[in-house]
């Protein structure tokens, strides 16, 4: 099945055979979005939500919260993270918030209490690092914590435990 986006980029799987794909649209200003699909038993995809816009640019990586209720999209060009609410496979934008230095990869701690966002600083304006957030409530909100900086400029990729 062809993607419902111009430039599908990052993806993650949610609960109940759900697939979420960030829609980059070649970094067009404000065009970033998220689409969702249902994966059938035969492996085929059925579109659930089509290109739900974030109003941000550079939709990159996607990560679904461990409870399956939220999807987070790193918008690399605008240095923002967008939060989408998941309901029965469909998505709705909740909000977007600033994340320093062009976020790319993201991952949750194993217990789901923390979200880590790689900020490799592709624009060479600050020090590459990892932003950390506490996930305090079931509403998808994030509380910024002290992260780390001073990583090498060659940093690429993130895995969390």
Percentage of the residues of the chain whose pLDDT score is greater than 90: 42
H/E run at residue 61? strand 59-64
CB atoms within 10 A of CB 20: 25
Q: Dihedral through CA 119, CA 116, CA 72, CA 157, nearest 10?
A: 60
Q: Which of 151, 91, 72, 93 is nearest to 119 (CA)?
A: 151
Q: Band the pLDDT of 120: cuts 50, 70, 90.
A: low
Q: With 80 as the cut, is the pLDDT of residue 42 above it?
A: yes
**What's the average model confidence in pLDDT over 50-74?**
93
pLDDT digits (tens, 9 = 90+) for 122-140: 555 667 778 888 988 778 8
Residue 3: the pLDDT is: 61
Residue 103: the pLDDT is: 73
* Percent of residues in the chain assigned helix, strand, coil, to nearest 5: 0, 50, 50
The two structure tokens encoding residue 70: 């939220």
Between CA 135 and CA 123 the distance in angstroms is: 28
Question: The tokens 């035969």 sit on which residue?
Answer: 42
**What's the average model confidence in pLDDT over 15-26?**
92
pLDDT digits (tens, 9 = 90+) for 78-102: 888 999 999 999 999 999 987 766 7
Q: Considering the chain, what is the average pLDDT of its residues?
A: 85
Which one is the CATH code of 8-149: 3.40.640.10, 2.130.10.10, 2.40.290.10, 1.10.3720.10?
2.130.10.10
Q: With 70 as the cut, is the pLDDT of residue 35 above it?
A: yes
Region for residue 160 given its phi and psi (left: phi exceeds 0; alpha: psi -120 to 50; beta: otherwise): beta
Question: The tokens 């400029």 sit on which residue?
Answer: 153
């Amino acid at each position: 099945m062809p993607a419902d986006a111009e430039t599908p980029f990052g993806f993650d799987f949610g609960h109940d055979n759900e697939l979420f794909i960030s829609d980059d649209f070649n970094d067009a200003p404000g065009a970033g979005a998220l689409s969702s699909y249902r994966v059938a038993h035969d492996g085929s995809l059925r579109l659930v939500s089509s290109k739900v816009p974030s109003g941000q640019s550079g939709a990159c990586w996607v990560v679904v919260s461990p409870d399956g209720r939220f999807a987070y999209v790193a918008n690399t060009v605008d240095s923002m993270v967008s939060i989408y609410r998941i309901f029965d496979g469909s998505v709705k934008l909740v909000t977007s918030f600033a994340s320093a230095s062009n976020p790319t990869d993201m991952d949750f701690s194993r217990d789901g209490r923390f979200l880590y966002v790689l900020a490799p600083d592709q624009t060479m304006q600050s020090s590459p690092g990892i932003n950390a957030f506490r996930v305090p409530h079931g509403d998808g909100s994030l509380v910024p914590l002290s992260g780390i900086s001073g990583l090498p400029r060659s940093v690429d990729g993130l895995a969390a435990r």
